[in-house]
Amino acid sequence: MTREPLSLFDTTLRDGAQTLGVDFSLEDKLLLAEQLDGLGVDYVEAGYPGANPTDTRLFSESRPFATKVTAFGMTKRPGRSISNDPGFQALLAAEADAICLVGKTWDFHVDVALGVTLDENLEAIKESIAAVVESGREALLDCEHFFDGYKANPDYAVACARGAYEAGARWIVLCDTNGGTLPEEVAEIVGAVVQQIPGDHVGIHAHNDTDNGVANSLAAVRAGARQVQGTLNGLGERCGNANLTSIIPTLLLKTTYADRYETNVTPEKLKTLTHASRILDDLLNRAPNRHSPYVGEAAFAHKGGIHVSAVQKDPRTYEHVPPDSIGNVRKLLVSDQGGRSNILAQLDRIGIAVPKDDARIGRLLEEVKAREAVGYAYESAEASFELLARRMLGNVPQFFDVDSFRVMVERRHNALGELVTISEATVKARINDETVMSVGEGNGPVNALDNALRKDLGPYQSYIDDLELVDYKVRILTGGTDAVTRVLVESRDSEGRRWFTVGVSPNIVDASFEALLDSINYKLIRDGAPAP
C-alpha cells in the first residue's frame, strides 16, 4: 500500500526562540539547522529577516541544506501597498527557500488588534501570498488563531484560508495560537477545512497549553492535514509548541501512522533524534528532562529485579519501542550494561572501532562517569570525549605541555580618563624539551590566555592558525561557595568544521583554559599533526 507523504516543519529557531530566556546566536541557529537537516525535517523556519541582525545575517549565510530554510514575517499592512511596506520588502529580499506569512483569521483579532475591516484583512492576505509566489518562493500561510476564529466565525476563517490557497500558497497552516483547543475539536475543524482545501495543502501548528500539543497534531493528521509544525523538545513560549521530538518517533515507530504516512525521516536519521534533543538543551544551558518520552535518560531505564530480568530476556516486556531506534540507550540500574552500550555508541559515532568486550571500555566508562559526576558534559563536548577516549585507548601524542600560566586583570583609567579593563596572560609551554614563554592581551582573561597560548606553538603553529573560537558558554553547577564552573567552548576552522570542548573547575579561568587546551589538541589530532 502506498503511503501518503507527510511534511515536517520545524519552528524551533523562530517560534521556539520566543521562549522566555532563550536567545540563539547565529552559530547556535546554524548548528541546530544542521541537526534538523540531518534529521530529515522538510522545513526549518529560521527567523525574521530584517527584524534583527542575527536573522538578517542567517539568511545571507550560505547553507548547504536539503531542508527548505524558511523566513517568517507578517502579511502586508492593510491600507499600504507591498512596495511601500519595508518589513515585507525585507522578507522578499531574504535568501529563503520558502516564506511563511502569518495572517489573522479570527474576526475578533482583525477588529481589535488590526482595527481594519474583514475585507481589508482578507485582501492583504491574498495580495501578500501572491507577492511571495511571484517572487519565485514557496509560500505558506500561518492562519493565526484559526481554531478560535473558526469557532467564532467559521465562514470568515475558512475564507482567509481559501483566499491564501487560491492565491498560490503551498501550505495553509491552521494555528492553535492560544493552545486551548482540544483534540476532538481539532479533529472536527480540520475535517471541515479539508472539505474546502485539499488536505495535502493543510498543516497544523499546535501549542501545548492543555498539554495536548502532540495529541492535537496527531488528531489533525488523522483528520486529513499533511504538514505538522512543531519544535525540538517542545520549546516555545508559555507551555511550549507541539513537541516534534515526540511526534517524529510516533509517526515512524507506531504502525497506525507508519503504515499510512511517509516522512523524509528515515529509520537511520531517526537515530540522531536523542542527540539533536540534547544539543538543544546544551545550547540553552539547560539540564535535559530525564523523563522526556523517547529521548529522556529515564525513558528506557529499568530498576528493580523483576523488570530488569524480564527486559534482559526480551526488552519488549517493558519497552514500547527499541531505544536505539531513536538513538537512546537502555539503562539497567543494577549493572553498567547501559553505560557500556552508551560508550560504544558514542565511539561508533566518532569513528573509533573497539571490540565490544575490550577491557579498556570499562575503564573509559568509569572515567567518564567520574568526570560527569563532577560536571563534565561529554554528550555535547564530543571533541573532549574523543580526546579522553583516544588517550585511554593509548593513541594520543603529547604534543606539548603547559608548565604554568598567569593572568592579570587590571581596571584603571587610561590616558583619556576612560575606565578600562585590560587582561594580560603569560603562558609557559614546553615543546620538544624547549620552553616557550608567550604573552597575550585580551578584553578578558580567557581571551588573553587564548591569545598567549596560540602565539607560539612552534612546529604546531601552522595547524592552529585557522582555529577560531566561535562561542563560549559558562554554567555554574552547584550553588553556594563550593560552586563548580563548567565551560563549553565551540571552535571552528577554515574548512567550516566545528567542535565542542569542555572544562570544569572551581575557577572559571582554569575551566576555560582546560577547554581551550582540548580544542587545540583536538585540532592537532584531527589534522594529523606529527608527534614530537
Residues forming contacts to Zn ion in the complex (CB under 5 A) are 15
SS3 348: helix
In angstroms, what is the minimal distance from the CB of 400 to Zn ion?
51
CB of 30 to Zn ion, least distance (A): 22
Rounded Cα distance, 88 and 308, in Å: 58
Q: Which of 388, 407, 476, 406 is nearest to 445 (CA)?
A: 407
Rounded (10°) CA dihedral 47, 49, 50, 56: 100
For 62, residues 6+ apart whose C-beta sits below 8 A from its C-beta are none
Residue 15 or 379: the one with the smaller Cβ distance to Zn ion is 15
Smaller CB distance to Zn ion: residue 241 or 272? Answer: 241
Min. distance of Cβ 205 from Zn ion in angstroms?
6
> Quick one: cell of 182?
482540544
Residue type, position 251, single letter: L
Give least dist CB 110 to Zn ion, A. 18
Toward Zn ion, which CB reaches closer, 204 or 280? Answer: 204
DSSP for 400-414 reads: -EEEEEEEEEEEEE-
Residue 204 CB, shortest distance to Zn ion, in Å, is 11
| 208 vs 250 by CB, closer to Zn ion | 208
Smallest distance, Zn ion to C-beta of residue 241, A: 6
| Cα dihedral 346→349→353→355 (10° resolution) | 40
Choose between 15 and 382: whose C-beta lies nearer to Zn ion. Answer: 15
User: Looking at residue 112, what DSSP letter applies?
Assistant: I
Number of residues written out for the chain = 532
Q: Are 248 and 270 in contact (CB under 8 A)?
A: yes
- Smallest distance from Zn ion to CB 55, Å: 17
Instruction: Please say which residue, 102 or 321, places its beta carbon nearer to Zn ion.
Output: 102
Please, are residues 424 and 411 in contact by the beta-carbon 8 Å criterion? no
Residue 15 CB, nearest distance to Zn ion (Å)? 4
3-state secondary structure 286-328: CCCCCCCCCCCCCCCEECCHHHHHHHHHCHHHCCCCCHHHHCC
Whole-number Å distance between alpha carbons of 127 and 120: 10
Distance (Å) of CA 79 to CA 115, 117, 123, 130, 196: 11, 10, 10, 16, 28
Task: Considering only CA atoms, give the Rg of the chain.
Answer: 26
Q: What are phi and psi of 412, to 5 degrees?
A: -155, 175
Q: How far apart are CA 512 and CA 368, in angstroms?
A: 19
Comparison of 174 and 524: residue with beta carbon closer to Zn ion: 174
What is the distance between the alpha carbons of residues 510 and 485, in angstroms, rounded to a whole number? Answer: 9
Q: How far is the CB of 69 from Zn ion (least distance, A)?
A: 18
Q: Nearest distance from residue 357's CB to Zn ion, in Å?
A: 50
Question: In the complex with Zn ion, which residue's Cβ is closer, 47 or 339?
Answer: 47
Query: Minimal distance in Å, beta carbon 100 to Zn ion?
Result: 11
CB of 177 to Zn ion, least distance (A): 6
Least distance CB 77 / Zn ion (angstroms): 21
Q: Of the two residues 246 and 274, which places its CB atom closer to Zn ion in the complex?
A: 246
CA–CA distances in Å: residue 179 to residues 42, 211, 215, 362: 24, 9, 12, 48
CB of 500 to Zn ion, least distance (A): 30
Q: How far apart are CA 474 and CA 282, in angstroms?
A: 11
One-letter amino acid of 345: A
- CA distances to 308, 331, 342, 365, 437 from 362, rounded to whole Å, are 21, 16, 11, 5, 39
Grid cell digits, residue 36: 534538523
Identify residue 300 by its one-letter amino acid code.
F
Nearer to Zn ion, 203 or 375 (CB): 203
Q: How far apart are CA 371 and CA 420, in angstroms?
A: 38
Indicate the residue among 15 and 42 with the shorter CB distance to Zn ion: 15
| Rounded alpha-carbon distances, angstroms, from residue 248 to 322, 473, 478 | 15, 30, 35
* Strands 498-505, 485-492: pairing kind: antiparallel
Q: Find the residue with minimal CB distance to Zn ion.
A: 15
